């Protein structure tokens, strides 16, 4: 373990997750566009990763033996930027430049911009393949770093996800852990109406993955799942995390429209108040 001096307690993680949610709202309010719903739904998972699970070093972002995090659902970029800033990768002030001309914080993630962004993403369905490649390289080099990939539940409608799912199992990538942010909504509506991909867990099991199902807002369950995943040998793990889209902001929770709509000034104020 390098980077964090001590792992955060669950109480501290909860506080950190709220700070990250505040960052997300403030950034999106300032930017005037972007994706709050899926950033908020995955906030607890990503907080757990960056403040408890990932072996990373903000002073040396490209350290060879670091764990890798791939944000395959790239539209949750504000979440990634906030986690990186909170973790010391770049100054928090810069968060307010999201989506603006000349900013390192592009609308969707761009590799190395800012440091800590492991791969460009935003076009859905591509990140799991990248994570596989990172995991294969780790095995080839005999390194013990782990690779994490956050997928959206709408995203898994992309065919490439299932190509990558086969590959990860075929190559027995037990150093890979995917997390599915299962919030049940996508841009055009509920997943079951847009494109019913159920049964999801059975699909991943059939693709020869180790599967777990957790409450994606319960830190005890999140941390336990990541620990258990480390012990599984010979196959990749996917943690299916049941989440609430827009989690933490009353008027955004389970509201489809907040997939890709930024809060107004008044909504920003109200949301920040709720998250204080």
Partner 1 sequence: MTEMIATRDAYGKTLVRLGEIDKDVVVLDADLSKSTKTHDFAKKFPERFFQMGISEQDMMGTAAGLATCGKIPFASTFAIFASGRAWEQIRNTICYSNLNVKIVATHAGISVGADGSSHQCIEDISLMRTIANMTVIVPCDAVETGKAVMTAAAMKGPVYIRLGRAKVPIILNEDEDFEIGKGKVLIDGSDATIIACGIMVEKALEAAQKLRVRGGTNCRVINISTIKPIDEQLIIKAARETRAIVTAEEHMSKGGLGSAVAEVIVENEPVPMRMIAIKDRFGESGDPGELFREFGLTEDDIIKAVEEVVKK
Neighbouring-strand partners of residue 225: none
Instruction: Report the greatest alpha carbon distance in the chain.
Output: 53
What's the token pair of residue 66? 């670091």
Q: What are phi and psi of 213, to 5 degrees?
A: -130, 130
Closer residue to partner 1 in complex, CB, 7/123: 123
User: Considering only residues 29, 127, 152, 248, which one is a binding residue for partner 1 as defined by CB under 8 A?
Assistant: 127
Candidate segments 27-35, 95-103, 166-174, 246-254, binder of partner 1 by CB under 8 A: 166-174
Query: Nearest to residue 42, comparing CAs of 10, 15, 68, 75?
Result: 75
Binder of partner 1 out of 18, 97, 103, 120 (CB under 8 A): 120
Q: Give the nearest distance from C-beta 170 to partner 1 in angstroms.
A: 8
110 binds partner 1 (CB under 8 A): yes
- Per CB under 8 A, the segment of 27-35, 81-89, 121-129, 212-220 that binds partner 1 is 121-129
DSSP per position, 26-55: HHHHHHS-S-HHHHHHTHHHHHHIIIII--
Integer Cα distance of 233 and 223 in angstroms? 18
Interface pattern 168-197 for partner 1 (x via CB under 8 A): --xx--------------------------
Is 167 a binder of partner 1 (CB under 8 A)? yes
Residue 76 within binding range of partner 1, rule CB under 8 A: no
Cβ neighbours around 170 below 10 Å, total: 11
């Amino acid at each position: 373990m390098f980077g964090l001096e001590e792992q955060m307690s669950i109480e501290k993680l909860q506080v950190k997750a709220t700070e990250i949610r505040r960052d997300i709202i403030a950034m999106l309010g300032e930017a005037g566009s972007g994706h709050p719903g899926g950033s908020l739904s995955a906030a607890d998972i990503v907080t757990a990763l960056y403040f408890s699970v990932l072996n990373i070093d903000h002073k040396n972002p490209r350290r060879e033996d670091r764990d890798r995090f791939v944000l395959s659902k790239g539209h949750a970029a504000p979440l990634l930027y906030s986690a990186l800033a909170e973790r010391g990768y770049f100054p928090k002030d810069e968060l307010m430049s999201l989506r603006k001309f000349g900013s390192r914080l592009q609308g969707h993630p761009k590799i190395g911009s800012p440091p800590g962004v492991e791969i460009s993403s935003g076009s859905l369905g591509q990140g799991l393949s990248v994570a596989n490649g990172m995991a294969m390289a780790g095995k080839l080099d005999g390194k013990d770093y782990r690779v994490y990939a956050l997928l959206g539940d709408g995203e898994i409608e992309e065919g490439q996800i299932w190509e990558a799912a086969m590959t990860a199992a075929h190559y027995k990538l037990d150093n890979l852990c995917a997390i599915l942010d299962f919030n049940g909504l996508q841009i055009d509506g509920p997943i079951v109406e847009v494109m019913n991909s159920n049964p999801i867990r059975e699909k991943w099991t059939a693709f020869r993955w180790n599967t777990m199902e957790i409450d994606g807002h319960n830190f005890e369950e999140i941390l336990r799942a990541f620990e258990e995943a480390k012990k599984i040998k010979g196959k990749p793990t996917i943690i299916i995390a049941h989440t609430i889209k827009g989690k933490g902001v009353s008027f955004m929770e389970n509201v489809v429209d907040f997939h890709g709509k930024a809060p107004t000034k008044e909504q920003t104020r109200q949301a920040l108040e709720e998250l204080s």
